Amino acid sequence: MGKGIVTQAMCLLTDGQPTIESLRASLQEQGFEIVNERPAQKDWRFGGPELTLAYRPSVNGYVAVDIVDQSWPDSMGDPKTDPMTFGAWSMGNFGPLTFPGGLSRASEHSWSWEPGKTLPKQHRGFIRLRLSYAFGAKAPDPLRPADCDPITELNFMSRAVLAILTVPGVICYFNPNGEVLFGPAPFRDLWRSSSQQEKIPLPLWINVRYFKLDQKFSLMDTVGNGQLDVADVEAIFPQRGYDPGDVGYYLRNVTQYLLGLDREIHSGEAFDGPGEANLSWVVEVVKQGTIKPPREIYRLYPKANKAEISKALEG
């Protein structure tokens, strides 16, 4: 999957009680311009009762916000047994970078918000936000304008999430593209601190995960960098000598570095490692990361451990 008609998507898991009236009131109270409202489509997978927010109307940029009284379809359907869900997923209606099992993986790796490991299981519905430049577009309008800025898109949608978090019945925030979960208070706190420090709130959009490859090596990766139009990053490192917290911080810094890069990265390039400035790590451009979801990644690891890491990956 990749960005198409839908360029960004976020969700809020609910207990099934939110109404379109409470959703409208919360968004209007925070100054969002609602330009359209329409009833649910015939099939909930393609849209429940919906409000349309103006984002960049001059280039046909809008955010559709709908309420669905169904649990999140984490399997994303099957072309034979559940073609409607599969079709909606393939069109990007659950997020352009969403992959089956994303909510389960988000819960498993909810390190920043411990209740995320169990609380999402209580949800009975969800509120979905989808940003597009193709709602009502006509040929030859582009799917994305030339000056499309993903950070501006995600900031706008995050502000909408902040408004919706006040709606009664909302359990938590879920970003299916970055497989991230946050409760209302932690989401607000992280957004506020990032704003005060003038930092990009990457943890709200992109998860960092931790795995043990074997008894000697660990793996950490990012999920969701594609929302920012850059590759995800995977770090493989000896368990001795490296703290996972430092490596997680390192992956965020590499993502920031990629955002400002105006050239391609090639396999074999030397990199500074976590807390290092001696180019002792190396990068490989890999078509598919080690852990789902499938996507192209940059794999980083210490040069000195290349042979051992290759063997660990083969095992």
pTM of the model: 0.96
C-alpha span between 225 and 199 (Å, rounded): 16
Contact 315, 214 (CB under 8 A): yes
Please give the average per-residue pLDDT across 68-72, as a whole number: 97
Q: Cis link prior to 100 (omega < 30° from 0)?
A: no
User: CA separation (Å) from 115 to 170, 172, 264?
Assistant: 14, 10, 39
143, burial (CB in 10 Å: exposed 0-12, middle 13-18, buried 19+)? middle
Lowest mean pLDDT among 135-144, 240-249, 259-268: 135-144
Q: What is the mean pLDDT of the chain?
A: 96
pLDDT tens for 151-181 read 999 999 999 999 999 999 999 999 999 999 9
pLDDT tens for 47-66 read 999 999 999 999 999 999 99
Please give the average per-residue pLDDT across 248-271, as a whole number: 96
For the record, the structure tokens of 146 come out as 């030339």
- pLDDT recorded at residue 118: 97
pLDDT tens for 225-246 read 999 999 999 999 999 999 999 9
- pLDDT recorded at residue 224: 98
- pLDDT recorded at residue 140: 73
User: CA separation (Å) from 1 to 91, 95, 311?
Assistant: 9, 9, 30
Residue 1, pLDDT > 90, answer no
* Exposure class string for 168-177: b at 16+ Cβ within 10 A, else e: ebbbbbbbbb
Residue 137, pLDDT > 80, answer no
Residue 304, pLDDT > 90, answer yes
Minimal CA–CA distance to 182: which of 101, 124, 120? Answer: 120
Inter-axis angle of helices 184-196 and 150-164, nearest 10: 140
Contact 204, 187 (CB under 8 A): yes
Please give the average per-residue pLDDT across 123-152, as a whole number: 89
pLDDT tens for 38-47 read 999 999 999 9
Please give the average per-residue pLDDT across 206-213, as a whole number: 97
Residue 215, pLDDT > 70, answer yes
